[in-house]
Structure 1
Amino acid sequence: MESNIYTTKEIQERVDTYISQFKEGYFSPLSLMARLTEEVGELAREVNHYHGEKPKKSTEQEKTVEDELGDIIFVLTCFANSLEIDLSEAFHTSISKIETRDKYRWTKKD
């Protein structure tokens, strides 16, 4: 039985295995940026439906915030793979910066 818990490396490898089977390969960075923007817009729409003031129309397809986050992870992974960026390393750099920069920015829990 296949596990549904992945490391970032496994995510990147699985996406690469999928994309590599097609002659077209990865989209260009500009196309991937457009796709990522589109997916973030879809996430915003779902958040507004479930946590905002705009209810879904009865004719709208049922999607969830979780579905849209998954789509964003897929496109983001395509973006990283196409530019040969290791997501774990990118995250490590980002979280280290945030943990240092914002160390005293927020009120700590007791």
Structure 2
Amino acid sequence: MTEKPESLKAMQKEVDTYIQQFKAGYFSPLSQMARLTEEVGELAREINHYYGEKLKKTDEQLKTVEEELGDVLFVTMIMANSLDIDLTEVFNRNMDKFNKRDNYRFERKDGKTHD
């Protein structure tokens, strides 16, 4: 399988095309928040199974951290689409904020300590 490079815009459009085929369309923001919380909980459970002390039960379905992160991303895109939020713009603003605010917050590999 060949990987295709995708932008967040393209992924959001693909998610929108998927959702638009159903009569229900997008659920309310509150319902979406509940679903996102559920998916983050499932991700936390997988992290705990793989990296924590809580082992899976022998009859539990095998899932992966990757699969659960994918679910979180999908639901995040659904929420963003329904609220008309461009995740590319949000990402760019956040990276600008982090690069300015946290540029020297942690010890850097290049040894720099300030501008």
TM-score by length of 2: 0.91
Distance across 1 between alignment mates of 2:47 and 2:78:
24
Partner of 1:97 in structure 2?
Answer: 97
Partner of 2:52 in structure 1?
Answer: 52
Deviation readout 1:3-62 (Å, 9 max, x if unpaired): 454210111011000000011101111001000000000000000000000010000000
Partner of 1:8 in structure 2?
Answer: 8
Post-superposition offset of 1:71: 0.2
Between 1 and 2, higher relative CO (CA 8 Å, sep ≥ 6) is seen in 1
Distance across 1 between alignment mates of 2:38 and 2:5:
26
Distance across 1 between alignment mates of 2:102 and 2:79:
27
Partner of 1:107 in structure 2?
Answer: 107
Partner of 2:22 in structure 1?
Answer: 22
Greater CA drift, 25-34 or 3-12: 3-12
Q: What aligned pairs does 1:8-87 form with structure 2 within 5 A after superposition? A: 8-87=8-87
TM-score by length of 1: 0.95
Distance across 2 between alignment mates of 1:84 and 1:44:
28
Distance across 2 between alignment mates of 1:2 and 1:84:
31
Q: How many residues align?
A: 110
Query: What residue ranges of structure 2 are gaps of 5+ in the alignment?
Result: 111-115
Structure showing greater radius of gyration is: 2
What is the root-mean-square deviation in Å for CA atoms of aligned residues?
Answer: 1.3
Query: What residue ranges of structure 1 are gaps of 5+ in the alignment?
Result: none
